[in-house]
Amino acid sequence: MHWIEVRSLEALKARIGEADVLLCSGLWRNELIAAAPRLAFIQSISAGTDQYSRESLGAAGIRLASAQGVNERAVAEHAIALILALARRIPEARDNQAARHWRGMIGDIGQREDELGGKTLLIVGLGRIGARLATLAKAFDMRVVATRREPSRGAGAADEVVGEEDLRGLLPQADFVALTCPLTPETENLIDAKALAAMKPSACLINVARGKVVNEPALIEALAQQRIAGAALDCVWEEPLPATSALWGMPNVLITPHTAGETRRYEDNVIDLLLENLERLWRGEVVLKNQVV
């Protein structure tokens, strides 16, 4: 087996015609299909596959598998870290450290660090990542409610699970709203101005899903007017986040650059999945693991 490594879109365009199998994610462009007559299989390195045209891949006879599940532990841990960072005001502490400022006792109780025990976490999308996050949150004695496409599949570690259509009824209960759902036509702009208005003023939004699940202008307005307390965002509408974005300068926003799943073990997990799917291809199996197309 011969392998080729490319590190830019230009290099991918130049070499994709030689490939039977492609391991890819962020560099993918659907126009590459026309330049890839030999390509039979794409193993995405991300769980989300919204960047791929399923119709075009299907028409070209190219199979696609997602990396769903390989980063569930990493992303769930990142989400709980973001929740803790907001509750314990870690970004503020880091700013104070940089300024060599020792903060004294805070008389205003509402401005102090908070505990997670007894707080309600709403998980939007109780898939693999959401289910793992629910387990972690229960370790902090949080109450966990969740939405999932098929609530009949069970709540797992969550205390309550409802269908996606009942999201608005859960939003007013939540102290933290964590987005772990895939980006689909149904979830795009799911957290819009109305959803944000349904949240408590003391609530925080955590997004480890996809940027377009949130209506970003509505979020910026809600944060600026302190209609919600804060947000921790691992993903945004446009990545990299433009330097002109108002999100950069907001004191109640914590940003990580879409690194929730980018751990030291991630590549090993993806390679294990790729090798399993290659074995299935060589055996002539019809169905691949995590097959999307």
276 included as an active-site residue? no
Separation of alpha carbons 25 and 243, rounded Å = 24
89, 128, 148, 210: the catalytic one is 210
210 included as an active-site residue? yes
b or e along 205-236 (b: 16 or more beta carbons within 10 Å of the residue's beta carbon)? bbbbbbbbbbbbebbbebbeeebbbbbbbbbb
Angle, helices 72-87/90-98, rounded to nearest 10 degrees: 70
Cβ(72)–Cβ(132) below 8 Å: yes
- Dmax over CA atoms of the chain, in Å, equals 68
Give me 289's structure tokens.
């693991």
113, 239, 267, 279: the catalytic one is 239
Q: How far is CA 16 from CA 1, 31, 279, in A?
A: 16, 11, 22
Cβ(88)–Cβ(81) below 8 Å: no
- Residues with a known catalytic role: 210, 239, 258
